[in-house]
A and B are shown apart, each in its own frame.
Chain A
Amino acid sequence: AQSVTQLGSHVSVSEGALVLLRCNYSSSVPPYLFWYVQYPNQGLQLLLKYTSAATLVKGINGFEAEFKKSETSFHLTKPSAHMSDAAEYFCAVRGSGSARQLTFGSGTQLTVLP
Chain B
Amino acid sequence: NAGVMQNPRHLVRRRGQEARLRCSPMKGHSHVYWYRQLPEEGLKFMVYLQKENIIDESGMPKERFSAEFPKEGPSILRIQQVVRGDSAAYFCASSPQKAGAVDEQFFGPGTRLTVL
Contact = CB atoms under 8 A, between A and B. Distances in A.
Nearest to B103: A100
Interface residues of B, number: 25
Contact of B45 (A42, A46, A90, A101): A101
A43 B91 contact: yes
A82 interface: no
B105 interface: yes
Given A100-B31, A100-B48, A101-B45, A43 B109 contact: yes
A103 interface: yes
A17 interface: no
Contacts of B91: 43-44
A90 B43 contact: yes
B109 A101 contact: no
Contacts of A43: 4, 91, 107-110
A94 B103 CA distance: 11
B18 interface: no
B76 to A, nearest CB: 18
Nearest to B45: A101
A99 B48 CA distance: 10
Interface string B41-58: 111110010000001100
A105 B42 contact: yes
A102 interface: yes
A44 B56 contact: no
Contacts of A101: 33, 45, 48, 56, 59
Interface of A: 32, 36, 41-46, 49, 51, 90, 94, 99-107
A-B interface, 8 closest residue pairs, ranked by CB to CB distance from nearest: A43-B107, A104-B42, A101-B45, A44-B107, A51-B102, A106-B42, A104-B43, A43-B109
Interface of B: 4, 31, 33, 35, 41-45, 48, 55-56, 59, 91, 93, 95, 102, 104-110, 112
22 contacts: A32-B102, A36-B107, A41-B112, A43-B4, A43-B91, A43-B109, A43-B110, A44-B91, A44-B107, A45-B107, A46-B105, A90-B42, A94-B102, A99-B56, A100-B31, A100-B48, A101-B33, A101-B59, A103-B45, A104-B35, A104-B43, A105-B42
